[in-house]
Amino acid sequence: MRIERLPLFPLEVVLYPGEQLPLHIFEPRYRRLVTRCLEEDRPFGIVLAEASKLAQVGSLARITRVLARYGDGRMDILVTGEDRFRIVQLYSDEPYLTADVERIVEPWEVPERALRERLITQHMRLLELVGRTVRPSLYENVRYLSYVIAPNAGLTVQQQQEVLELLTENERVAYLVSHLERLLPQVEQMEAVRRRVQSNGHFPEGHSSSSSK
């Protein structure tokens, strides 16, 4: 087990490997963290923090671009998720949290192709229902399909964390398929209601929406 020390940035979001996330850095301690990571060309860890509770599994975040620097020291940066990690020991001897972490190795497995295809079909249907552009290229040549779909699958942040903590890709794909099986009928029903409201959004001739007194 290889242990490494990592600066941590607790946030109310889940970052997946390969996902890009823009961040506005304004607190002095996190400006210091980002400056150190830029100088040393090293990643930091993003972990979900909710109600003062810190998740035990997070993702490495590599700063890929500094989008803007402001006169008061604030920064806008773009990070890309890398390996997942598990927290072994937390430390509070810096202005920001640090931790000894163990990177999570993705186990080798044979992809369940039928399940992957089902997930792609479900996700394309979801995007269509909510009016998002459907791009088949999104799913092409992707090793970990779950990390591409999970950020835009209608998951709560707690569910996103559950996906992040699942060990294998097949487990993550199965989780998302099950989730979308429950979600799609609800979204379809909402869309049907919306269409009915739009089609009936007029009043018959001679009828007023308000009664006379």
85 shares a domain with 29: yes
Position 180 in a domain = yes
Q: Where are the beta strands (DSSP E) in 74-152?
A: 75-91, 98-103
35 shares a domain with 65: yes
pLDDT at res. 211: 43
9 shares a domain with 53: yes
76 shares a domain with 161: no
* CA dist list (Å): 70 to 21, 25, 26, 31, 170: 19, 10, 10, 11, 44
Amino acid, single-letter form, for residue 114 = A
Domain count, the chain: 2
86 shares a domain with 43: yes
144 shares a domain with 94: no
195 shares a domain with 121: yes
117 shares a domain with 99: no
Please state the φ and ψ torsions of residue 188, each to the nearest 5 degrees.
-65, -40
Cα 134–Cα 135–Cα 136 angle in degrees, nearest 5? 115
Domain that holds residue 86: 3-103
Query: What six digits make up the tokens of 169?
Result: 């890709």
pLDDT at res. 213: 39
pLDDT at res. 203: 43
Element spanning 1, H or E: none
Task: Divide the 213 residues of the chain into consecutive groups of 10 and give the mean pLDDT of each group.
Answer: 93 97 97 97 96 94 98 97 98 95 92 94 94 89 94 96 97 98 93 74 46 41
How far from the centroid of its chain's Cα atoms is residue 48's Cα? 10
pLDDT at res. 201: 52
94 shares a domain with 20: yes
Q: Which distant-in-sequence residues (6+ apart) come within 8 Å of 158 by Cβ?
A: 50
Quote the pTM value: 0.87
